[in-house]
A and B are shown apart, each in its own frame.
Chain A
């Protein structure tokens, strides 16, 4: 036990990874909620890829102008500029040409990523950037400077999001309303994009270009399945980000695997579990809802059976005429609850509402029979076909038949049409 859980905590590299990872994951989770709700997920991906050009550019400029080697703030600023330039280019291309936004994103981020890769390889003797490190991230070798960067970024972004929570909420939910009360919607969008860029930039050194988008959206999507309020979704998302980092880091130590990969794997598994068991939006809940749903057809069959029987009907007689025997008891209970039936010692009888409903279905049935006869349906098929068709319920079908047949009073079997 000690070996498994406590021993890693005593290692400095693990502590740093834990702190840095948690800080990044929490802020990514919170801002990720807005990214998910605005359907900007692909943008997170684009920003992270564009970064490499910015990092290379920042490195080069600082080295050439000031002779500084691997100047962290310079590279950070470079990444930010690259990220914002990418966003600007994407919206420019999408607006002025017939190319749609998703394609524009794809073009621009691969293009700028490629520019970065080429720049890094051309100047490989001059600037020292490990491409592999950049792409895969290295959370176990996180540097103190990275740690500081992520702490400042997190503090800044969280402050903005908390202070202007309502502004982000309304600009995301209903931008027209937001603009109509005088909020600078476009400016809010830019602020959000800048926040996302900052978070992406600070997260790339830990989990790498490819996985950073996962850290941004997976915890948020997980929280989305569990909450019906934005503030709660943000809290939960931050929590899921945190648990992903903690769980992922232990996974990585135990399995001796890549850090970023383990974190995202844990994060994804977490999502899948929640997707399964979430109380309202989960698959299990959905399946149970479907199972508990009593088919309308069964309800209507029960109603007409009792109406035809003409008096309090024992369960055995109902089950003889109703097609689906499965769940008949449950359906009857539900119908009593819904005020369609009353239960007594002798069986079930219709309430006023139930009788009205039953007459409606019976009318539909007999009208369908009359109609089917006029179009030449064989007599033995009249009843079964009408029995299927009587359940069509859009309100106008029955009226149409009634009108078309000239309001008949007798069906082909000589029974009165109610």
Chain B
């Protein structure tokens, strides 16, 4: 999976439309290795289309998405996906260990069962997020932060270098948020690139190395201090400026 390019994700002039409405318009971003990247933008800004494009689910109208130098539609599994908490059925009859094991499914041929090596890797991934003691719990019995960590373990077990997280901080308390961030940072230090869809502007600067600000178009990509500019934010989040002046002040302090 090594390429000469310093970029793991290369989005080039990407335009995607649904029913004559553009979801993404002429978006070009190159994302470097080992970064914690936040994707911000208002509701309906095309964040989920952006995710789908990186996962290789959609055929762009124009442009291309390259993952590790190859088209996203041909690199299935190289981007590990961590779903939004609300999208998971927490009553599903499945244990923590089984969820982690799902990360191995792509490597297991359909005619065999998971080997002991797969099991080792799953447990190893759980250990990395410090969830090994909960291996046999049903996933609904965990706290919000633990649940998020289980899905992180699944992504790690998948062995991908790129992790895509959909709103991991939605609906968790402050302590849990710290715990999740800690796991993200550890993954980054282990050489992963993390792309995180994020809602909360007030924490965006603190959490991420890079921010992507999109609303159909790409408004900015770079270090938080360059992205969280009043003029840009007011343009993207029309008329809700008061919040942003707080954000900017917090950033300056």
Contact = CB atoms under 8 A, between A and B. Distances in A.
Contacts of B106: 181-182
A163 B76 contact: no
B111 A37 contact: no
Interface in A206-242: 224, 227-230, 232-233
B95 A228 contact: yes
Contacts of A182: 76-77, 106
Interface string B72-104: 000011011101000111001111001000100
A170 B79 CA distance: 17
- Counting chain B residues whose Cβ lies within 8 A of the other chain, the interface size class is 20 to 34
Q: Interface residues of A: mostly helix, strand, loop or mixed?
A: helix
Contacts, number: 64
Nearest to B113: A166
A146 B77 CA distance: 44
A176 interface: yes
B55 interface: yes
B138 interface: yes
Contact of A37 (B88, B89, B95, B108): B89
B54 to A, nearest CB: 9
Contacts of A173: 89, 92, 94, 102
A312 B110 CA distance: 66
Contacts of A233: 93
A179 B55 contact: yes
Contacts of A224: 93
A180 B92 contact: no
> Which among B88, B94, B106, B111 has the greatest number of chain A C-beta atoms within 10 A?
B94
A40 interface: no
Contacts of B92: 37, 172-173, 230
Given A174-B88, A177-B102, A181-B77, A163 B111 contact: yes
Contacts of B79: 180
A400 to B, nearest CB: 16
Contact of A228 (B56, B110, B138): B138
A164 B108 CA distance: 12
A167 interface: yes
> Which among A164, A180, A182 has the greatest number of chain B C-beta atoms within 10 A?
A180
A229 B98 contact: yes
Contacts of A228: 93-95, 138
Interface residues of A, number: 23
Given A170-B102, A179-B55, A229-B95, A164 B110 contact: yes
B105 interface: yes
B237 interface: no
Given A163-B111, A179-B57, A180-B55, A229 B93 contact: yes
Contacts of B80: 180
B94 A180 contact: no
Nearest to A173: B92
A232 B95 CA distance: 12
A120 to B, nearest CB: 40
A170 B76 CA distance: 15
Interface of B: 55-57, 76-77, 79-81, 83, 87-89, 92-95, 98, 102, 105-106, 108, 110-111, 138, 154, 158
Interface of A: 37, 163-164, 166-167, 169-170, 172-174, 176-177, 179-182, 224, 227-230, 232-233
21 contacts: A163-B110, A163-B111, A166-B105, A166-B108, A169-B94, A172-B92, A173-B89, A173-B102, A174-B102, A176-B55, A176-B83, A177-B83, A177-B102, A180-B77, A181-B76, A181-B158, A182-B106, A228-B94, A229-B94, A230-B93, A230-B98
